[in-house]
A and B are shown apart, each in its own frame.
Chain A
Amino acid sequence: MISEPNTPSTSDSERDSRILKSYWRKNLGLMLVLLLIWAGVSLGCGILFADSLNQYYLPMTGYPLGFWFAQQGSIIVFVLLILIYALAMNQLDKAHQKSRTSGKDTPS
């Protein structure tokens, strides 16, 4: 934890750009997964497959499943997606910042 910030040099700027690349790649990966879930619950379960899902009911309730996804389920999932994104990205920010100052290479 206790490390001196490195003085800038050419190898540092190379490492910096490696860290930035890794940061951006992980960001894109995370986003892609979350956006797939986003499309899956709303456009998928809520619309494209709503008619077939409507034959089933949400357990313990009177909600037909397709209707539930369109009017309740997708909204709940949306809130969770943003929560996960905020937590994960803030973590990524911190980890990459730390690997820069600690002089270690890209975090795994």
Chain B
Amino acid sequence: MTVQGWTYLFVGLTFALYLGIAWWSRVRDTKGFYVAGRGVPAAANGMATAADWMSAASFISMAGLVSTMGYAGGVYLMGWTGGFVLLALLLAPYLRKFGHFTVPDFMGDRYDSKLVRIVAVICALFISFTYVAGQMRGVGVVFSRFLEVDVNVGVVVGMVIVFVYATLGGMKGITWTQVAQYWVLITAFLVPAIAISIKLTDTGIPQIGLGSEIKETTVSLLARLDGIQEEFGFGPYTEPFVGKWDKVNVFFVALALMVGTAGLPHVIVRFYTVKSPKAARWSGFWALLFIAFLYLTAPAIAGFARYFMLDSLNSAKEEQLPDWFESWEKTGLILWFDDGDDAVRYSAGDRNEIFRAGSISGPELARISRNHQQWIESKGERGTDARTLLTEEGLSGPDRDIIVLATPEMAELSNWIIAFVAAGGLAAALSTASGLLLVISSSVAHDLYYKILNPSASEKQRLLVGRGTIGLAVVVAGLFGIYPPGFVGQVVAFAFGFAAASFFPVIVLGIFWKRVGTIPALCGMVAGIGVTAYYVVGVVFFGMDKWTLGLSAQGIDPQGVGTFGMVVNLVVTVALTPLFPAPSKKVQALVDRVREPEGWSPPINIDESTKQ
């Protein structure tokens, strides 16, 4: 069967599974809708959290990033997993003991302020929408390559599916769908990695394979990779701190991602769905364990893909080009513009011949291609050299998003594996999209509508608003997928910086320091967000000079400024705290409550507590 046939089969089967689960777990009350009735077992919640957390970015883009960045790719690996340690130790058990539905709930009650609640809602909405936009791009990439349908059709199909299971089952439906999606995505990620590892190094465990010797030689794969990288002008693969990734920037970005992860609302809410704080701790462990299966495999895939790419492309002639190259060339995600010697060269610097189309439109690309052909045929007399053109646009090298999806093809694995990877990519994108839609829905329906606008709303009205919001959010997310805003990639970094600089410090201080009052926390958040937003917007959109902070000569990367914003938030909050009154008795009692051992006081009745 062809790749396309297999893809239709796997995508059809998995989508049917997700819809079946949605029907089986449909809900009627807000408790089921927002926190799945709190009956989710810890291990299942761990799987759901893992699927929720591992987005299209983790599945499709991350190995690609690591592949081109080498050592520095570790900032994503460490950053995104390290955040879970902070989450599990500093936040999850306490938020679970607090016992409401959302993060803005905790913030609003702990700091006893509607304003804090609204700021928290805005942050949650901003982070979630930024993220959803990225997921839709992932769905588009997978559909356009494997089903060869129009990207827009693919996005609409994905949206309809998410809409059905998110509105029908709410958090409960999403949780159980995500459990299924976890298994689809992890198998899809592991199978090719294992197959390639056996092929390259004779080891069935990719994590060991990456550190082993290449089959039938005594050279270690990493040493060989370092060698090829240097030969073509890239920095050695395993060498730390090359190019823009100096020590200070690696440190800043890693820490910003760690702290940002711990502040992401769609991950935090998952800890509300389990029975008890004990189960919250266990689900933190299960979540990271399940995530680690993918995150420990990604660097292996990254290394293998880099090796294949450099090894099989360089000095290949037109007719020797591998099949995967030709099928991906059609998508514009990888392009070859020859310098006239009829052999591919993928390297750093001017002589590179591998590019990507980026946001260049089809007709425009065809024109560039024609001019380049003319340039070659006339030996530079007429036409234009596409290489200089694309290099100036910053489009050197293949699109990173193809690495995971194309590696099985590079290694010439069977068609069904290639198709299965596509189904896995869709599972990753859809599971995260649905988790985010639910955060958007609960932020609007619970925190804005119920808690602020209409506190006397009935259960039925709240559910209706919740479902309506999901519908609206799906449409917006779909539009993001059909008309992808060009700034998505850059704004994701912003979302992490935002989460790091706003939520994290005040939640942690709220739990661990009883004395912190409303005004210091508000000032801290505003200062943290303000500095971060000012810097990211200034540098990314208005070409502002980067700050060096006296630490790094080349300036702090906008992705890492969340670390700085977080410190600003902390310093402002801590410095102002003694100047303002301590929080009320009620709030102090609340903090004492979340510090108790499990089962110390009778459990909080959710329906009571939501009535204020």
Q: Size band of the B side of the interface?
A: 35 or more
B211 touches A61 (CB 8 A): yes
> Given A43-B255, A76-B296, are A64 and B238 neighbors across the interface (CB < 8 Å)?
yes
A82 touches B85 (CB 8 A): yes
B240 touches A68 (CB 8 A): no
Q: Does B401 contact A (CB under 8 A)?
A: no
A78 touches B82 (CB 8 A): yes
A85 touches B288 (CB 8 A): no
Which residues 76-98 of A have a CB within 8 angstroms of B? 76, 78-79, 81-83, 85-86, 89-90, 92-93, 96-97
B82 contact from A42, A50, A54, Cβ within 8 A? A42
Provide the bound-state CA to CA distance between A28 and B90, in Å.
Answer: 10
Provide the bound-state CA to CA distance between A99 and B592, in Å.
Answer: 19
Residue of B nearest to A66 (CB): B240
Residues of A within 8 A of B90 (CB): 31
A48 touches B77 (CB 8 A): no
B597 touches A97 (CB 8 A): yes
Q: Does B392 contact A (CB under 8 A)?
A: no
B236 CB → nearest A CB, Å: 10
Residues of B within 8 A of A86 (CB): 88, 281-282, 284-285
A42 CB → nearest B CB, Å: 5
Residues of B within 8 A of A20 (CB): 592, 595-597, 600
A97 touches B288 (CB 8 A): no
> Given A47-B254, A54-B240, A93-B597, are A75 and B81 neighbors across the interface (CB < 8 Å)?
yes
A71 touches B599 (CB 8 A): no
Residues of A within 8 A of B221 (CB): 62
A82 touches B285 (CB 8 A): yes
Q: Does B9 contact A (CB under 8 A)?
A: no
Residues of B within 8 A of A43 (CB): 251, 254-255
B288 touches A79 (CB 8 A): yes
Residues of B within 8 A of A67 (CB): 71, 74, 222, 238, 240
Q: Does B73 contact A (CB under 8 A)?
A: yes
Provide the bound-state CA to CA distance between A54 and B85, in Å.
Answer: 25
A91 CB → nearest B CB, Å: 10
B74 touches A71 (CB 8 A): yes
A54 touches B600 (CB 8 A): no
Provide the bound-state CA to CA distance between A83 and B46, in Å.
Answer: 13
Provide the bound-state CA to CA distance between A87 and B3, in Å.
Answer: 46
Residues of A within 8 A of B93 (CB): 89
A71 touches B223 (CB 8 A): no
Provide the bound-state CA to CA distance between A31 and B88, in Å.
Answer: 10
**Interface residues as binary, B293-308 with A (CB distance below 8 Å gives 1, 0 otherwise):** 0011001000000000
B77 contact from A28, A62, A71, A89, Cβ within 8 A? A71
Residue of B nearest to A51 (CB): B240
Question: How many A residues have CB within 8 A of the partner chain?
Answer: 45
Residue of A nearest to B278 (CB): A90
A78 touches B288 (CB 8 A): yes
**Interface residues as binary, B55-92 with A (CB distance below 8 Å gives 1, 0 otherwise):** 00000000000100001011001100110111011100
Residues of B within 8 A of A83 (CB): 285
A39 CB → nearest B CB, Å: 9
Q: Does B239 contact A (CB under 8 A)?
A: yes
Q: Does B309 contact A (CB under 8 A)?
A: no
Residue of B nearest to A16 (CB): B600
> Given A47-B247, A54-B240, A62-B211, are A82 and B84 neighbors across the interface (CB < 8 Å)?
yes
A74 touches B222 (CB 8 A): no
Which residues 217-255 of B have a CB within 8 angstroms of A? 220-223, 238-241, 247, 250-251, 254-255
B73 touches A71 (CB 8 A): yes
Residues of B within 8 A of A34 (CB): 85, 89
> Given A62-B221, A62-B222, are A47 and B281 neighbors across the interface (CB < 8 Å)?
no
**Interface residues as binary, A14-58 with B (CB distance below 8 Å gives 1, 0 otherwise):** 000000100110011001001100100011001110110010001
Residue of A nearest to B225 (CB): A62
Provide the bound-state CA to CA distance between A53 and B595, in Å.
Answer: 40
B81 touches A78 (CB 8 A): yes
Interface centre among A51, A72, A97 (most CB of B within 10 A): A72
Q: Does B559 contact A (CB under 8 A)?
A: no
Residue of A nearest to B79 (CB): A42
B595 touches A74 (CB 8 A): no
Q: Does B289 contact A (CB under 8 A)?
A: yes
A50 touches B211 (CB 8 A): no
B414 CB → nearest A CB, Å: 28
B211 touches A71 (CB 8 A): no
Interface centre among A54, A63, A64 (most CB of B within 10 A): A64
**Interface residues as binary, B123-152 with A (CB distance below 8 Å gives 1, 0 otherwise):** 000000000000000000000000000000
Residues of B within 8 A of A24 (CB): 595
Residue of A nearest to B281 (CB): A86
B296 touches A72 (CB 8 A): yes
Which residues 275-334 of B have a CB within 8 angstroms of A? 277-278, 281-282, 284-285, 288-289, 292, 295-296, 299
Residue of A nearest to B240 (CB): A50
Chain B interfacial positions (CB closer than 8 Å to A): 66, 71, 73-74, 77-78, 81-82, 84-86, 88-90, 93, 207-208, 210-213, 220-223, 238-241, 247, 250-251, 254-255, 258, 277-278, 281-282, 284-285, 288-289, 292, 295-296, 299, 512, 592, 595-600
Can you list 7 contacts pairing A with B, beta carbon distance less than 8 Å?
Answer: A20-B600, A38-B85, A50-B241, A54-B239, A63-B222, A76-B296, A86-B285
Q: Can you name 5 extra interface pairs (CB under 8 A) apart from A38-B85, A82-B84, A85-B285?
A: A61-B208, A62-B212, A75-B78, A89-B281, A97-B600
Chain A interfacial positions (CB closer than 8 Å to B): 20, 23-24, 27-28, 31, 34-35, 38, 42-43, 46-48, 50-51, 54, 58, 61-64, 66-68, 70-72, 74-76, 78-79, 81-83, 85-86, 89-90, 92-93, 96-97, 100
Which 7 residue pairs are nearest across A and B when measured between Cβ atoms?
A: A62-B220, A70-B74, A61-B211, A86-B281, A71-B299, A67-B238, A63-B211
